[in-house]
Amino acid sequence: MNFKITGTGSCIPDITKKNTEFLNNSFFDNDGNQIQSSNPDIIEKFQSITGIDERKYVSGEVKSSDLAAIAAKKAIKDSNINQETLDYIIVAHNFGDISCNSSQIDTLPSLSSRVKTILKIKNPKCVAYDIICGCPGWVEGVIQAKSFIKSGMANKCLVIGSDTLSRVTDDNDRDSMIYADGSGAIILESNNSDDSGILSHNSATYTFEGENEFIYYGSSYNPKLSKDSNQKYIKMQGRKVYEFALTNVPAAMKDCFDESKCKIENLKKIFIHQANKKMDEAIIKRFFRLYKISPPEDVLPMNIEEYGNSSVATIPTLFDLVKKSDYKGHKLVKGDLIMFASVGAGMNINAITYQI
């Protein structure tokens, strides 16, 4: 038995926010001191490191579960299944359904239950639950879905990654320019017809040396706001995240890929979490260096330039784009060997080797 993605879908919000729209922000460092560099210089440096030119934001009363349901509908249609035959709906996210002009986390009921309600699925044996695993949440959801199918507990699973990070960003933090909104979904089914599907996977959590504090929920960097308000925002120790990822992710990817017993020369694409262009490119170079070869020029599809970092949604969104539209010259054909890989809050790392 193998485990195959039979349908994909994504939902990209309508609002585009360009880097120039941050020119009037007041930026502070994590010690509460206003940054003296000019905003044009801050933004230029940010763009050169992250690769982000613009990002997508939700509008009005749209919530993460709304994006998730749209992506889910597209994946269900793409797979050509009856949604009543779904055994599990797994939704990966970080902050739940946050309302417009509010940073209060809302996860009751779960986003997966809300998605099931929007889809109007009647079957009570279709179990809906959420997973919080930082940016690697969607990949971990796919790994869990595979385990359900392998154990005989399921035949079809819907796995969604959805976040609206624009609603938990601190306007006084340079890192606020990284984050974006979006949702991506896949249908995973048992597969006995050919060799395609999940070949191997790997997961790890690092906490012993304080890694769990690298990405967290904290106060504004603006000392006046942090003093007068209990409001919290997504926060990141960027340098530590960068160093952690470059030290640990390539080795985790190699462990995963080696388990597949495939030849590295046959690896066509790596769909890595779109966190930071420079970081992702460095991870890929170090990964291939472990095999004493250079990465192929077209191995790394990226959409961070126009979509930003939407956390759990980056990989399934990008996979859907490449699968359906030959995004930026990247395309997939039957038999292609690919990888999914992610790193994020926890600190968590995971990877999947997959054959189209």
Residues 185 and 300 in one domain: no
Query: Residue 264 gets which letter from DSSP?
Result: G
User: Does residue 9 carry a pLDDT above 80?
Assistant: yes
Do 260 and 343 reside in the same domain of the chain? yes
Instruction: Output the pLDDT for position 194.
Output: 73
Burial class (CB in 10 A: 0-12, 13-18, 19+), 311: buried
Full domain range(s) for residue 209: 198-355
* Judgement on whether residues 14 and 152 belong to the same structural domain of the protein: yes
Say yes or no: 259 and 154 in one domain. no
Contact 168, 103 (CB under 8 A): yes
pLDDT at 103: 67
- Residue 53 burial class via C-beta count within 10 angstroms: exposed 0-12, middle 13-18, buried 19 and up: middle
Same domain flag for 121 and 224:
no
Listed residues 167, 194, 221: the one ending a domain:
194
Rounded Cα distance, 333 and 188, in Å: 18
In the listed set 162, 194, 226, which residue is the last one of a domain according to the structure? 194
Residue pair 135/273 in contact (Cβ under 8 Å)? The answer is yes
The CATH number covering residue 129 comes to: 3.40.47.10
Is 169:100 a contact under the CB 8 Å cutoff? no
pTM of the model: 0.93
Please check whether residues 74 and 121 belong to one and the same domain.
yes
Provide mean pLDDT across the span 104-130. Answer: 95
Asked if the model's pLDDT at residue 91 lies above 80, the reply is yes
- Considering its fold, how many domains does the chain have in total? 2
Determine how β-strand 127-131 pairs with β-strand 88-92.
parallel
Q: What is the pLDDT of residue 228?
A: 65
Say whether both 165 and 245 belong to one domain. Answer: no
132-169: pLDDT as tens digits: 999 999 999 999 999 999 999 999 999 999 999 999 99
User: Going by C-beta distance under 8 Å and a sequence separation of 6 or more, which residues neighbour residue 224?
Assistant: none
Residue 211 DSSP symbol: G
What phi and psi values does residue 195 have, to the nearest 5 degrees?
-90, 0
Nearest-angstrom CA–CA distance, 314 and 351:
14
**342 in the same domain as 273:** yes
